[in-house]
Chains A and B, each alone.
Chain A
Amino acid sequence: DVKVTQSSRYLVKRTGEKVFLECVQDMDHENMFWYRQDPGLGLRLIYFSYDVKMKEKGDIPEGYSVSREKKERFSLILESASTNQTSMYLCASSLSSDYEQYFGPGTRLTVT
């Protein structure tokens, strides 16, 4: 079974803090994705990566950056957290030849 893990299930941070969310997958998937999910807005793609050290902007990259130094690990960074970044953050991975994405358990981030 594909396993995608995320570093925290719940996180509370203060405005202006730098926040790191980590995602690890154990299936040697090439592609990894970061989404945020908000009520009424659905899943929105923040960034994705199709290879180590490669990254592509998604639909809402502003205020975020990412890092992929190893194939299995994809980090999302909030450089200076703001209250409008309070959300559920979901990581997913897929094979390069396949569209099926498998999600981690999610991190519910609250910025106060």
Chain B
Amino acid sequence: QKEVEQNSGPLSVPEGAIASLNCTYSDRGSQSFFWYRQYSGKSPELIMSIYSNGDKEDGRFTAQLNKASQYVSLLIRDSQPSDSATYLCAAGLGLEYGNKLVFGAGTILRVKS
């Protein structure tokens, strides 16, 4: 069973702080990783993709990938109350699995003003 694991939270951070969200994945064959943001009652929205080891920055968001440790993280700098949401981590399975993604259950982030 290929899995992605996340701490369910809630993770509470004060406004302006850095929020750090983490996930681990079980399939060593995974080469692509994604972070989705999901507001309550809404559908997931893709916010970051990462394919190579290291960091990838986009505005206030930084995704980090360590394939040796099978670990992916998302940092949100200068956290805002509007960042309060559930963050889903996903890993792409190999082409033999038809471009499917496996999703973690999500981490609830609460940014306190």
Contact A103 B105 (CB under 8 A): no
Contact A106 B42 (CB under 8 A): yes
Contact B103 A103 (CB under 8 A): no
> 1/0 contact trace for A39-54 toward B, CB 8 Å?
0111101001010000
Chain B interface, number of residues (Cβ within 8 angstroms): 20
Residue B101 CB within 8 A of the other chain? yes
Sort chain A's interface into a size bin: 20 to 34
Residue A66 CB within 8 A of the other chain? no
Give me the interface of B with A, judged by CB distance under 8 Å: 32, 34, 36, 42-46, 49, 88, 90, 92, 98-101, 103-106
Give me the interface of A with B, judged by CB distance under 8 Å: 31, 33, 40-43, 45, 48, 50, 56, 58, 90, 94, 96, 98-106
